[in-house]
């Protein structure tokens, strides 16, 4: 396998925009692998604030050298600062940003709203990309990111091709020109990025802080109506196959997206090289030929499967296909499927092969228990007779007695391919060169003028020391010029086009042409390596953005806010005297009845002059796609007192109404809180990523009456487009043919330690897995009260009305000082058997 110069800079025969190919780089070798295999840009993290903290990553001190190296090769470099930033971290984040701006980084990829504000405060022009962690699924989300100052938006992986087209159309209608980026290959998170709290809740390792523990890759059992569902060998209920957009690449290009992104900052250089090469060449085929003649080469699919594969799927590009996205049989790398074992002897196995295998290849035998130790090793010999192939192995490589007829065989390693891949980026000579356009000018008794242009727009013009003379033999023809000036083998360039403007038959010594070529390349390389110049406000700091602290605008007595998820819970909550209620129902059509009940309660309370006003707020689903405005319309028709806003569409749709921001807005610092308050939200829910110390820091720098804190809940672990109900309790692909098992069954997923986590669907058919163990921050309520917090939320899930009353009463006693937080925790654990734990407010152990 050799990487040849590409001509992708040449004008396409079609109108399609040439999207940038963006590759991951967890270290220097990965960066080199990406460059030498055709990446237009790489993205990478530094020591802090990036969503892949387990990667080797680069350092701040690496930046000047890394950016010079990238720009020399005509490749852009984007730094990922795509995590939430806590209050005490802004000084460090500011220093990171100053270092990046000074080093000429091409752009920064950001999740945190407050960090976006700081970036634009420090620099008016430093490019900022909205991370997929911002959970943008619509034109409203794109507009939100643009208003923050983002020049590009990475869409959520859950957007289909049709939805991307729809978003583009809506942006055009709104006269918004914002480039869009999508992931084209790599691991798929089952939960919406920026909305997964599983690692935080179960292990204290936040996915929003780059420390995902990959709980989605673990086996689970499905429990429906109290009975374990027999799913055979399908136990990896939340582990999607890996994304491969190769089959839909022409359609992706036709959506007009600006950038195609490869996932994999935790992967090896071989992975980066292989996947980048496949997509580089496939993308160039799309751009250079009619899309209807594009096909996926078998060799490309093989290379992708051998690089890293849990199975390859087009993800959500073709819509929700719940039967194929998650096959459920394993959650780790497999590779290429070779077939089933047909016979096992003392010296080898016989297989009916579905793909080629050769001596030296690595294989693994899959007996349907991927969580257990599996047999595998290097193939020693291959002998084919009739329809079967006999494979033998080294004596100590594996235990043949552990292999059974029917076991599946996977090829996990191809040393020959791996060697070829490493050769694409080994050594110092450039393997992948970018196009150089040359123009030659001159006439007799004048120097030869050589103009060179690269794809990035750099231009160099030089003149020969000698003058051109009339040629009596062998004049400088276009062919001669191409031959001499095209000798660019050890440079970042190849000669893509030479335009000859010489007047007459002219001559110049070959040595002079060679020197011109060398000088032009040297000057062009030097020009490319110069750091990009971004404006930087040297005297500006994050502290000038902090909101002013002021006295509370409301009475200082603490208030309980209760969120219920069905009508019986609402009735129970109303009976306790709680005056602020949130409703989050799966079916928004039931909100009208909730409003009627509350209005009846208001009428009954009119004679009580001491009663506080009763208010009911409605919660739309957490995600809004382009075609789902009808759900918001259903919610609004109920005419509630206000709305619990979860996303950017709802910020826009309910503008002018009373609104409170929910936890899904990821308010983790005062700069973020201040921004949402400026958008008109009455109050904000503190991020569930905050422990007690981080929450205390937030309250110390933010007016406490801006915030409410959830102190009792079943933590929403995974929030997913993937429908477990549809995938495992039906044969349908989506809501149109699944039979709606979510309406007929109560379903839980049981983890490896026996905890049964509650599964629920919403109005958009999205699933949420809620922690089966309720969590409380009761032991920290007294501390939060001392910090000025006055709004405390309780969230219920499947609790009975009796449990709802008991829990609310206990927290009312806590706020009135009648019981301690510890007593409440212990009492609820014993009496209601909810298994309450201290939850996310607990500070991590040292």
- Integer angstrom CA distances of residue 138 from 165, 319, 623, 625: 11, 15, 9, 6
Asked whether the predicted pLDDT for residue 188 surpasses 70, the reply is yes
Asked whether the predicted pLDDT for residue 322 surpasses 60, the reply is yes
pLDDT tens digits along 397-436: 899 999 999 999 999 999 999 999 999 999 999 999 999 9
Instruction: Domain count for the chain, please give it.
Output: 5
834: tokens are: 């909810």
**How many beta carbons lie within 10 A of that of residue 372, not counting itself?**
7
Asked whether the predicted pLDDT for residue 705 surpasses 90, the reply is yes
Least-confidence region, from 168-172, 422-426, 827-831: 827-831
Residue range 87-94: average pLDDT?
94
Residue closest to 196 by CA, chosen among 722, 816, 782: 722
521: tokens are: 């390349």
Residue range 366-374: average pLDDT?
91
Q: Can you give the CATH number for the domain in which 303 is found?
A: 3.20.20.70
- CA-angle at 702, arms to 194 and 711, nearest 5°: 60
In a domain, 417, yes or no: yes
3-class DSSP assignment, residue 75 = coil
Q: How far apart are CA 25 and CA 134, in angstroms?
A: 21
In a domain, 324, yes or no: no
Please check whether residues 29 and 125 belong to one and the same domain: yes
Max distance between CA atoms of the chain, in angstroms, equals 113
The dihedrals phi and psi of 103, each to the nearest 5 degrees, come to: -80, -5
Least-confidence region, from 111-120, 535-544, 557-566: 535-544
**Which residues, other chains included, contact 411 with Cβ-Cβ below 8 Å and sequence gap of 6+?**
306, 335, 336, 337, 338, 355, 357, 361, 362, 363
Please check whether residues 57 and 179 belong to one and the same domain: yes
Q: Are strands 791-795 and 775-776 parallel, antiparallel or unpaired?
A: unpaired
Please check whether residues 115 and 202 belong to one and the same domain: no
pLDDT of residue 612: 67
Whether the Cβ atoms of residue 105 and residue 45 lie closer than 8 Å to each other: no
Give the residue numbers spanning the domain of 442.
434-529
Please check whether residues 155 and 277 belong to one and the same domain: yes
Please check whether residues 586 and 645 belong to one and the same domain: yes
Is residue 6 very low, low, confident or very high in pLDDT (cuts 50, 70, 90)?
A: very low
Please check whether residues 145 and 80 belong to one and the same domain: yes
In a domain, 541, yes or no: no
pLDDT tens digits along 729-773: 999 888 889 999 999 999 999 999 999 999 999 999 999 999 998
Please check whether residues 789 and 761 belong to one and the same domain: no
Residue range 385-403: average pLDDT?
91
pLDDT tens digits along 559-571: 999 999 999 999 9
SS (H, E, C) 531-572: CCCCCCCCCCCHHHHCCCCCCCCCCCCCEEEEEECCHHHHHH
Residue whose tokens read 């087009």? 314
pLDDT of residue 291: 61
Please report how the helices 801-815 and 567-574 are oriented relative to each other, as an axis angle in degrees rounded to 10: 40
What is residue 837's DSSP assignment?
B
In a domain, 4, yes or no: no
Please check whether residues 508 and 627 belong to one and the same domain: no
Buried b (16+ CB within 10 A) or exposed e, 309-342: bbbbbbbbbeebbbbebbbbbbbeebbbbbbebe
Q: How far apart are CA 361 and CA 363, in angstroms?
A: 7
In a domain, 268, yes or no: yes
Residues of the chain with pLDDT > 70, as a percent, come to 93
Q: Are strands 747-750 and 756-761 parallel, antiparallel or unpaired?
A: antiparallel
pLDDT of residue 10: 40
Kindly report the average pLDDT of the chain as a whole number. Answer: 91
In a domain, 277, yes or no: yes
What is residue 846's DSSP assignment?
-
Please check whether residues 754 and 789 belong to one and the same domain: no
pLDDT tens digits along 654-668: 999 999 999 999 999
Whether the Cβ atoms of residue 16 and residue 442 lie closer than 8 Å to each other: no
pLDDT of residue 185: 97
pLDDT of residue 553: 56
Please check whether residues 666 and 741 belong to one and the same domain: no
In a domain, 329, yes or no: no
Residue range 102-119: average pLDDT?
97
What is residue 667's DSSP assignment?
B
SS (H, E, C) 489-540: CCCCEEEEEEEEEECCCEECCHHHHHHHHHHHHHHHHHHHHCCCCCCCCCCC
pLDDT of residue 12: 41
pLDDT of residue 604: 74
pLDDT of residue 837: 59
Q: How far apart are CA 597 and CA 589, in angstroms?
A: 14
pLDDT of residue 55: 63
In a domain, 492, yes or no: yes
pLDDT of residue 845: 43
- In this structure, the dihedral spanned by the alpha carbons of residues 751, 754, 757 and 759, taken in order and rounded to 10 degrees, is 70
Helix (H) or strand (E) holding 96: helix 90-103
Is residue 830 very low, low, confident or very high in pLDDT (cuts 50, 70, 90)?
A: very low
- Integer angstrom CA distances of residue 264 from 45, 83, 327, 421, 602: 12, 17, 22, 17, 56
pLDDT tens digits along 459-494: 999 999 999 999 988 999 999 999 999 999 999 999
For the chain, the first-to-last Cα distance in angstroms comes to 50
pLDDT tens digits along 762-804: 999 999 999 998 989 999 999 999 999 999 999 999 999 999 9
User: Read out DSSP for 320-385?
Assistant: --HHHH---S-SS---EEEEEEEEE-SSEEEE--SS---TT-EEEEE-S-TTS---EEEEEEEEEE
Please check whether residues 60 and 79 belong to one and the same domain: yes
Domain boundary (511, 529, 547) is at: 529
Please check whether residues 581 and 514 belong to one and the same domain: no
Least-confidence region, from 38-52, 108-122, 729-743: 38-52
């Amino acid at each position: 396998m050799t990487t040849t110069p590409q001509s992708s800079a040449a004008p396409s025969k079609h109108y399609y925009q040439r999207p940038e190919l963006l590759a991951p780089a967890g270290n220097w070798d990965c960066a080199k692998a990406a460059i030498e295999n055709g990446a237009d840009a790489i993205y990478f993290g530094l020591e802090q604030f990036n969503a892949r903290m387990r990667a080797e990553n680069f350092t701040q001190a690496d930046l000047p050298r890394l950016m010079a190296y990238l720009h020399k090769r005509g490749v852009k470099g984007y730094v990922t600062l795509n995590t939430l930033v806590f209050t005490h971290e802004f000084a460090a984040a500011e220093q990171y940003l100053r270092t990046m701006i000074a080093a000429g980084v091409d752009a920064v990829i950001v999740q945190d709203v407050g960090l976006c504000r700081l970036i634009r405060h420090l620099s008016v022009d430093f490019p900022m990309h909205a991370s997929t962690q911002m959970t943008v699924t619509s034109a409203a989300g794109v507009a939100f990111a643009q208003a923050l100052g983002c020049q590009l938006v990475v869409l959520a992986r859950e957007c289909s091709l049709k939805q991307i087209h729809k978003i583009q159309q809506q942006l055009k209608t709104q006269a918004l020109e914002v480039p869009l980026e999508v992931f084209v290959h790599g691991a798929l998170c089952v939960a919406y990025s920026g909305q997964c709290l599983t690692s935080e809740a179960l292990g204290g390792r936040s996915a929003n802080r780059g420390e995902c523990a990959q709980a989605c890759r673990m086996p689970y059992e499905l429990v429906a109506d109290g009975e374990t569902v027999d799913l055979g060998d399908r136990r990896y209920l939340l582990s999607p196959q890996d994304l491969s957009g190769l089959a839909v690449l022409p359609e992706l290009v036709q959506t007009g997206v600006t950038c195609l992104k490869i996932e994999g900052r935790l992967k090896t250089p071989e992975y980066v090289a292989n996947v980048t090469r496949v997509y580089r060449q496939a993308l160039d085929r799309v751009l250079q030929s009619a899309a209807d003649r594009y096909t996926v080469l078998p060799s490309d699919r093989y290379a992708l499967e051998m690089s890293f594969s849990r199975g390859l799927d087009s993800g959500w590009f073709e819509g929700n296909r719940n039967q194929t996205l998650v096959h459920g049989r394993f959650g780790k790398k497999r590779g290429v499927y070779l077939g089933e074992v047909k016979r096992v002897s003392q010296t080898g196995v016989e297989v009916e092969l579905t793909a080629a295998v050769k001596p030296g290849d690595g294989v693994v035998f899959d007996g349907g228990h991927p969580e257990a130790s599996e047999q595998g090793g290097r193939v020693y010999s291959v002998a084919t007779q009739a329809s079967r192939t006999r494979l033998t192995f080294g004596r100590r490589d594996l235990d043949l007695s552990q292999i059974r007829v029917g076991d599946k065989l996977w090829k996990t390693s191809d040393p020959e391919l791996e060697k070829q891949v490493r050769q694409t980026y080994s050594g110092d000579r450039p393997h992948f060169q970018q196009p150089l356009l040359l123009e030659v000018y001159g006439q007799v008794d004048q120097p030869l003028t050589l103009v060179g242009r690269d794809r990035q727009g750099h231009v160099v013009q030089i003149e020969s020391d000698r003058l051109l003379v009339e040629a009596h033999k062998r004049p400088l023809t276009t062919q001669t010029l191409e031959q001499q000036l095209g000798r660019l083998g050890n440079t970042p360039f190849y000669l893509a086009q030479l335009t000859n403007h010489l007047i007459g038959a002219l001559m110049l010594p070959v040595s002079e042409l060679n020197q011109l070529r060398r000088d032009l390349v040297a000057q062009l390389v030097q020009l490319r390596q110069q750091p990009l110049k971004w404006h930087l406000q040297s005297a500006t700091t994050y502290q000038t953005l902090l909101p002013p602290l002021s006295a509370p605008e409301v009475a200082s007595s603490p208030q309980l806010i209760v969120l219920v998820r069905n009508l019986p819970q609402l009735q129970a909550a109303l009976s306790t005297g709680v005056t602020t209620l949130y409703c989050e129902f799966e079916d928004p059509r039931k909100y009208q009845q909730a409003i009627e009940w509350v209005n009846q309660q208001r009428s009954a309370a009119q004679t009580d002059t001491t009663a506080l006003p009763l208010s009911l707020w409605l919660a739309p689903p957490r995600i809004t796609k382009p075609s789902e405005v009808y759900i918001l319309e259903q919610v609004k028709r109920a005419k509630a007192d206000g709305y619990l806003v979860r996303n950017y569409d709802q910020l826009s749709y309910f503008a002018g109404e009373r609104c409170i921001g929910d936890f899904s807005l990821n308010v983790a610092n005062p700069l973020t809180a201040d921004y949402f308050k400026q958008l008109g939200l009455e109050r904000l829910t503190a991020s569930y990523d905050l422990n007690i110390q981080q929450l205390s820091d937030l309250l110390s720098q933010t007016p406490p009456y801006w915030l409410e804190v959830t102190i009792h809940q079943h933590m929403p672990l995974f929030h997913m487009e993937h429908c477990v109900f549809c995938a495992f309790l039906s044969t349908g692909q989506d809501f149109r043919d699944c039979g709606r098992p979510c309406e007929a069954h109560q379903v839980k997923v049981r983890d490896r330690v026996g905890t049964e986590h509650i599964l629920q669907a919403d109005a958009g058919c999205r699933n949420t897995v809620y922690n089966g163990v309720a969590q409380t921050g009761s032991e920290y309520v007294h501390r939060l009260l001392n910090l000025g917090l006055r709004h405390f939320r309780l969230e219920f899930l499947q609790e009975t009305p009796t449990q709802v009353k008991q829990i609310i009463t206990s927290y009312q006693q806590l706020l009135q000082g009648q019981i301690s937080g510890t007593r409440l925790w212990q009492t609820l654990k014993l009496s209601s058997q909810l298994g309450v734990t201290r939850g996310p407010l607990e500070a991590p152990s040292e």
